[in-house]
A and B are shown apart, each in its own frame.
Chain A
């Protein structure tokens, strides 16, 4: 008889009203496994993890730990049973030290309930060494880069004795080098007998690091098999239920005319960071130009300065004409369209209808608005871009993330502006929608328009961009042409700049 799984989900079902988020889900997590859990948005991954971590209770089915039935009433029970979770958004005290953050809530105490800080520090230092890291135990967390903050989160779970570690989209905020480091650590943890659960949508990472992979679709498990027996393409097909052909940029660009020129642009950043500076950045006609960088390195501030939402110094020229003195409306009129990163907060008014969301900014005639015509325009847009989940009168809030993003992209493409700025246009959308959005961006470029694509997905940039600027810490540190472009070369540019900065 084989050993029972370390943690097992047996027929877990969770309903939200009429929606079945998890439908009789079985999942076996064995010691020593790096178990990848993949699926599109809304496939039920997050719900399953919430059930295993005690955040929610199943309507049906149960959880077994080391072969015995358990019922977690709250995360406290799950933690006591050795289940740890690292959320996508870190839950750390920025102003406290690494040691304080790790022990918080589980501090070693001396007689009389006094926190034994010396013992805490020693224990954490030992834990760090055991994890194979050089994390400084006394450093203030707020001053650490994202990769190290994530280590603090992992150490927090390990300090509480976790031998089941759930990581939700752990690489979203990491540089390629930090990702490699994380994977090395995860392999070491698994080799030591822990279970690592990796919730992700990046299939290349699944292939690189996991030993077992489970695919979810519409609340149910559709495949669960050793990673060695599958491929990224097969996983994509299992996730979506159809075959996916990745879009890539294959034609040469004959870049001649410059559409956008930034010269000595200086932008004040949010937070304490120093000024963001771009000495020179150009986008030519018929070109997709990427800006690569981990989120928060100044890309969004630069984009806001270009579209007129953030004051800046220096020159912004569109088709050779300075536009930095103009307001947003005039810059849009001069030929800038913009797909913002935050589609609910910035890109739409979610309570308003699709028709209203599309009609905003379409200024023709004397400001008269015909509800019939804007309804018809919205209807055409819905048909042409296959927006599902509603008609012209449906509020955008009722659409799924991918369909809301389609509305934003379709509206901005519809302006037919010389320059389209797209900021992480595929973040959080399904594989099918990603394929579609990439195709649209490429078609826009092939029509002789220009795209400035800001992305933290290197695969996306490598698939689409003719040229990539790499931004680190508010500076452009490299410019890479399509011929020399690879995830490795972009990653190396980020790492080198980061090292130079740290040193």
Chain B
């Protein structure tokens, strides 16, 4: 089933899915006794309100980053569902390395971010030999490896790297010089991390559209037997794509640690649900770069706008989670229905 989401059956299924999801949201609003028009205008206001816009821009970085992270192996039909684990391992590694090294300012942080990417990449890459030698599907192994990874990070934040005085499971704050500089004087949350993620996104776009590696990924995703026949080294491509995927997730973790409150707090990286939002974005756009960026913008706006709606008209921001989930469900239903129709048609011949 999951494989079909990448096929031509998914062409043009995103827009009806979005419309259906907003319809579902409207029904939920109406049941709650709120005029859907009022609700949705509050949602839109929530996005564009002057105080909220910086949060939209700030949240775009992790959502886009996690979407690219998921999209890379997704292009070859492998599902990295361990994004949370890789994100958290990246965060704790970033914080740990930054605090352990001498304070050379942003240079230290760059090294820490590099270490974070390495840690995330290694964690994800484990799934390659697990598939190739152990026949454990990537979707399973990445998901399962996420749990010990999150626990390990939690342990590190509570004991060896804990901020002794605070009592909460968190590391010490990063020294001032290592914190990511803000972009303009909008908000400390809008920082150079966004630039880094945009560069990562551009790199993804270039590799996808302009290199043989990108073509190999798509070819193996479309037909692995054709890939092997044409001489693509599938095992190394798998390892490479998982490593890149995990590395980007790890990098996102490090960048989040260098934004307010400038420390690793147990659970803080996973609670906003960047990973799942990224998965949704990547799936809806089928990993296509331009669509991926648009979808990342939309879902970031939804998430932040929900907060505005909650404040203005008293609708819990979980409504946006309902919309988000409805998009995915409708999308899957459309693809499933098309696939059934295609099969029925093929049976006729």
B230 and A360 form a contact (CB under 8 A) = yes
Across-interface contacts of B228 in A (CB, < 8 A): 309, 328
Given A356-B218, A368-B211, A369-B210, verify A348-B226 contact (CB < 8 Å).
Answer: yes
- Interface residue? B215 (CB, 8 A): yes
Contacting residues, chain A, for B209 (C-beta < 8 A): 369, 371
By the criterion CB–CB under 8 Å, are B216 and A360 in contact?
A: yes
Please determine whether A351 and B214 come into contact, CB atoms closer than 8 angstroms.
no
Tell me if A351 and B212 are in contact (CB < 8 A). no
Q: Counting CB contacts under 8 A, is A315 at the interface?
A: no
Chain A: CB-nearest residue to B229 = A346
A47-91 near B? 1/0 per residue, CB < 8 Å: 000000000100000000000000000000000000000000000
Q: B151 interface residue, CB < 8 Å from A?
A: no
Question: Please, how many angstroms separate the alpha-carbon atoms of A346 and B211 in the complex?
Answer: 22
Q: How far is the CA of A360 from the CA of B231 in the complex (A)?
A: 9
1/0 per residue, CB under 8 A from A, across B221-236: the answer is: 0110111111111000
Best-buried of B214, B218, B219 by chain A (most CB within 10 Å): B219
Minimum CB–CB distance for B233 against chain A, Å: 6
Whole-angstrom CA separation of A96 from B335 in the bound complex:
40
B8 at the interface (CB under 8 A from A): yes
Do residues A352 and B212 form an inter-chain contact, with CB atoms below 8 A? no
* Cβ-based interface call for A247 (8 A): no
Closest Cβ of chain B to A374, distance in Å, is 9
Known contacts A329-B232, A352-B219, A395-B8; A371/B225 CB under 8 A: no
- For B232, the chain A residues whose CB sits under 8 A away are 329, 360
Chain B residues within 8 Å of A361, by CB: 230-231
B210-A349 in contact (CB<8A): no
The CA-CA distance from A307 to B225 in the complex, in Å, is: 13
Q: Judging by beta carbons under 8 Å apart, are A369 and B215 in contact?
A: yes
Answer whether residue A347 sits at the interface, using C-beta atoms and an 8 A cutoff.
yes
Q: B348 near A: Cβ within 8 Å? A: yes
- Please name all residues of chain A whose beta carbon is closer than 8 Å to the beta carbon of B168 when the two chains form the complex: none
CB-defined contacts of B210 to chain A, threshold 8 Å: 368-371
Interfacial chain A residues near B51, Cβ < 8 Å? none
Is there a chain B Cβ closer than 8 Å to A112's Cβ?
no
Contact of B222 among A46, A351, A363, A369 (CB under 8 A): A351
Is A327 a contact of B226 with CB atoms below 8 Å? no
**Do B223 and A367 touch across chains, with their CB atoms under 8 A apart?**
no
1/0 per position for B4-27, CB-CB distance to A under 8 A? 000110000000000000000000
The CA of A421 and the CA of B215, in the complex, are separated in Å by: 25
Give the chain B neighbours of A347 by CB distance below 8 A. Answer: 226, 229
Q: Within the complex, which residue of B212, B216, B229 is in contact with A340, where a contact is CB–CB below 8 Å?
A: B229
A448 interface hit (Cβ, 8 Å): no
How long is the Cα–Cα vector from A35 to B349 in the complex, in angstroms? 23
Nearest B-chain residue to A55, judged by Cβ? B348
Q: Please tell me the size bucket of the interface on B.
A: 20 to 34
| Interface membership of chain A positions 295-337, coded 1 if the CB is closer than 8 angstroms to chain B and 0 otherwise | 0000000000001010000000000000000011101100000
- Distance between Cα atoms of A331 and B226 in the complex (Å): 16
Say yes or no for B213: interface residue by CB 8 A criterion.
yes
- B222 in contact with A349 (CB, 8 Å): yes
Q: How far is the CB of B1 from chain A (nearest CB, A)?
A: 17
Min C-beta distance of B191 to chain A, whole Å:
33
Q: Which of B8, B213, B214, B233 contacts A329 (CB 8 A)?
A: B233
| Distance between A333 CB and nearest chain B CB, rounded to angstroms | 8
| Residues in chain A near residue B7, CB distance under 8 A | 351
User: A399 CA to B215 CA in the complex, in Å?
Assistant: 21
Contacts of A16 in B (CB 8 A): 348-349
- Checking A328, A352, A363, A368 against B229 with a beta-carbon cut-off of 8 angstroms, the contacting residue is A328
Question: Measured between alpha carbons, how far is A363 from B210 in the docked complex, in Å?
Answer: 13
Q: Contacts A367-B212, A368-B211 known; A349 to B223 CB distance under 8 Å?
A: yes
Q: Are B215 and A329 in contact (CB under 8 A)?
A: no
Q: What is the CA–CA distance of A356 and B228 in the complex, to the nearest angstrom?
A: 15
Kindly state the separation between the CA atoms of A210 and B336 in the bound complex, as whole angstroms: 47
Chain A residues positioned under 8 Å from B233 (CB to CB): 327, 329
Given the known interface contacts A328-B229, A338-B229, A369-B210, the answer about A350 and B215 at a Cβ–Cβ threshold of 8 Å is no
CA distance A356 to B8 in the complex (A): 15
Tell me if A345 counts as interface (CB < 8 A to partner B). yes
Interface flag for A359 (CB, 8 Å): yes
Minimum CB–CB distance from A209 to chain B (whole Å) comes to: 28
Residues from chain A with a CB closer than 8 A to the CB of B222 are 349-352
Residue of A nearest to B236 (CB): A327
**Is A309 a contact of B229 with CB atoms below 8 Å?**
yes
Most chain B CB atoms below 10 A, which of A329, A332, A349 = A349
Q: Are A369 and B348 in contact (CB under 8 A)?
A: no
Complex Cα–Cα for A369 and B223 (A): 20
Contact assessment for A369 and B229 in the assembled complex, using a CB-CB cutoff below 8 Å:
no
Contacts of B215 in A (CB 8 A): 356, 359-360, 369
Residues on the A chain within 8 Å of B229, using CB: 307, 309, 328, 338, 340, 346-347
**Inter-chain contact A367/B213, CB cutoff 8 Å:** yes
Question: Are A329 and B231 touching (Cβ within 8 A)?
Answer: yes
> Is there an interface contact between A328 and B231, defined as CB atoms closer than 8 Å?
yes
**Least CB separation from A359: chain B residue:** B215
The answer to whether B214 and A369 touch across the interface, beta carbons within 8 angstroms, is yes
Residues of B within 8 A of A356 (CB): 215, 218-219
Contacts of A56 in B (CB 8 A): 348
Tell me which of B215, B225, B349 has the highest count of chain A C-beta atoms within 10 A of its own C-beta.
Answer: B215
* Interface residue from A46, A350, A369 paired with B212 (Cβ < 8 Å): A369
List B147-173 residues whose CB lies under 8 Å from chain A: none
Are B225 and A360 in contact, with the CB atoms below 8 A?
no
Q: Contact at B223–A350, with CB atoms within 8 Å? A: yes
Give Cα A395–Cα B8 distance, bound, in whole angstroms. Answer: 10
CB distance from B299 to the nearest CB of A (A): 26
Instruction: Give the chain A neighbours of B223 by CB distance below 8 A.
Output: 345, 348-351
The reply to whether A352 and B348 form a contact with Cβ atoms under 8 Å apart is no
Residues of A close to B211: CB separation below 8 A: 367-369
- Cα distance A350–B230 when bound, in Å? 14
Q: Which residue of A lies closest to B224 (CB)?
A: A349
A502 to B13 alpha-carbon distance, docked (Å): 57
Across the interface, do B231 and A332 meet the contact criterion of CB distance under 8 Å? Answer: yes
Q: Which residues of B contact A395 (CB under 8 A)?
A: 8
User: What per-residue 1/0 map shows which CB atoms of B194-223 lie under 8 Å from chain A?
Assistant: 000000000000000111111110110011
Measured CB to CB, the closest approach of chain A to B229, in angstroms, equals 5
* Distance A361 CA – B226 CA, assembled complex (angstroms): 11
Give A130-163 as 1s and 0s: 1 = Cβ < 8 Å from B's Cβ atoms.
Answer: 0000000000000000000000000000000000
- List 19 extra interface pairs beyond A345-B225, A346-B225, CB under 8 A: A307-B229, A327-B231, A328-B228, A328-B231, A329-B233, A331-B231, A338-B229, A347-B226, A347-B229, A349-B219, A352-B219, A356-B215, A356-B219, A359-B212, A360-B216, A367-B211, A369-B212, A369-B214, A397-B8
Chosen A-B contacts, 11 in total, with CB atoms closer than 8 Å, are A328-B228, A328-B229, A340-B229, A346-B226, A347-B229, A349-B219, A350-B222, A350-B223, A361-B230, A369-B209, A369-B211
6 pairs of A and B residues whose beta carbons are closest in the complex: A329-B231, A349-B222, A349-B223, A361-B230, A328-B231, A367-B212
